Amino acid sequence: MAGHSKWANIKRRKAKVDAQKGNLFSKLLREVMVAARQGGGNPEANFRLKLAMQKARDGNVPGDGIARAIRKGTGEGEGAGIDEVTYEAYGPGGAAILVEAFTDNRNRTAGELRYLLTRHGGSMVEAGSVSWMFKRRGFLQVDRKKYPLSEDAMLALVLESGAEDMETDEESFTVLTAPDGLVAVEHSLERGGLRAETSEIAMVPVTYLQVTGEPAAILLRLLEVLDGHDDVQKVHCNVMLQP
């Protein structure tokens, strides 16, 4: 069940991009708004909204901003014209990439992302070309420095929580779950005294590709610029980067 974590480079990349971009609040609030539009404004009845609100709070978004985003999503304000779109692409080294975006102009966003991909050795492809290489799963990351448990002790808590798998690296334990089991697993870990630093649903690669050397460096830069685009919410890639 336990294995070496493939999430370390993803976490470092996202931390770097999040630290650089000044539009992080707007990205978090768009996720809240779209979640409310799709499933209603009650977080207890809307799992996606509950996660989006928690991420916004973790990102220090003010409570009144979150409340306004929910009102917009439920039709009490502007924002109904924003669409949720997933773009598929190949990157350097044959990397498969999924880009989740919120946009009020699909053509503009597609054109800008296509330009970024082309500039960094990638190409946009038709829907379905790479999405089959990913599976939607919940994952939580627990900081090993904050909770210095042995792998066996952590694995026991993970098994008790009902999670599907656990991966490890020097920095964190990564717990993988079914999407609809994420909240239950998180609550179980909290009862065991552990609070996850990351809790979300993501498109997880079915298998991983290794890319090294210059292609890896170019791919890393591509993923960073895609992450930094105003309309982009999440970027998923099936590569274990080893520059």
The predicted pLDDT at position 47 comes to: 82
Has residue 98 got a pLDDT over 60? yes
Residue 104 belongs to domain spanning: 84-132+208-242
CATH number of the domain that 104 lies in? 3.30.70.980
Q: What percent of the chain has pLDDT over 70?
A: 88
Q: What is the CA radius of gyration of the chain?
A: 18
Name the strands in the sheet holding 172-177, side by side, starting at the edge strand that comes first in the sequence.
2-4, 165-168, 172-177, 134-143, 198-205
Q: Is residue 79 part of a domain?
A: no
Taking a C-beta distance cutoff of 8 angstroms, is the pair 88, 126 a contact? yes
To the question of pTM greater than 0.95 for the whole model, the response is no
In this structure, are 200 and 228 located in the same domain? no
**pLDDT tens by residue, 64-78:** 889 988 988 888 766
The predicted pLDDT at position 35 comes to: 87
- The total domain count for the chain is 3
Q: Report how far residue 118's alpha carbon sits from residue 219's, in angstroms, rounded to the nearest whole number.
A: 12
Q: Is residue 7 part of a domain?
A: yes
Q: What percent of the chain has pLDDT over 90?
A: 44
- Burial class of residue 238 in the structure, from the number of CB atoms within 10 Å of its CB (0-12 exposed, 13-18 middle, 19+ buried): buried
Q: Is residue 108 part of a domain?
A: yes
